[in-house]
Amino acid sequence: MRIEINPHHPEPRKIQRAVEVLRAGGVIAYPTDTVYGIGCDITQKKAIDRVYQIKQMPKDQPLAFICPDLGDIAKYAVVDNQTYRTMRRLLPGPYCFILEATREVPRLLMMKKKTVGIRVPHHEIALALVRELGNPIISTTAAWKGESLNDPAEIDMRFKQLDLIVDGGYGGLIGTTVVDMTGSVPMVMREGAGPVEGIF
């Protein structure tokens, strides 16, 4: 099933329909400020398992998740003052920050070092979904054989197991810039859509 939503002014009724799918344990595709994401409600363990199955990913491959704003991040990650200042400057935006996880993060989502990837995308649909849901949403790239898919119709065709495609028009093809903030010196792990110059 595919539902078209205005990417600049998401219709509340349509957002509610998508959130109903998430609350029921569904897995959806949705637009972000970079590529389309595939995800579910962070509290739905069976849905998280399905994300791994749909993407055919090994269970030890970490999944990031989306928060609506910086205020929510402290619940799921340990954030010192310097890290907070950096994130406040760059978010919402095309970055994923690797942070030390708190106990609120489901074990399934933790990396071996008990860290977690967190995003606050600059995209009205993604933010509307996560605000309406009231929980973070899993974020993994809608990719087929290593190639990001930016056409909702193609995502629908390739991933038949999805419960819903939130169609916000064509998406991007370049992923987020991933920044590890857990060490004594922040490190760019992957250069993507977010400019690297001036991060630190």
DSSP H/E element including 39: strand 37-39
How confident is residue 6, by pLDDT bands cut at 50, 70 and 90? very high
The residue-averaged pLDDT of 65-90 equals 92
Q: Residue 191 above 80 pLDDT?
A: yes
- Output the CA torsion 75→77→79→84 (10° steps): -80
pLDDT at 128: 98
Angstrom distance (rounded) from CA 93 to CA 32: 10
Largest Cα–Cα distance in the chain? 46
Q: Residue 139 above 90 pLDDT?
A: yes
pLDDT at 109: 77
CA count, 13 A, side-chain hemisphere, 177: 21
Structural domains of the chain, with CATH: 2-190 (3.90.870.10)
**Computed from CA positions of residues 193, 110, 72, 139, in that sequence, does the dihedral angle turn out positive or negative?**
positive
Query: Who has greater pLDDT, 73 or 18?
Result: 18
Across 19-23, 152-156, 185-189, least confident range: 185-189
Structure tokens at 40: 């579910």
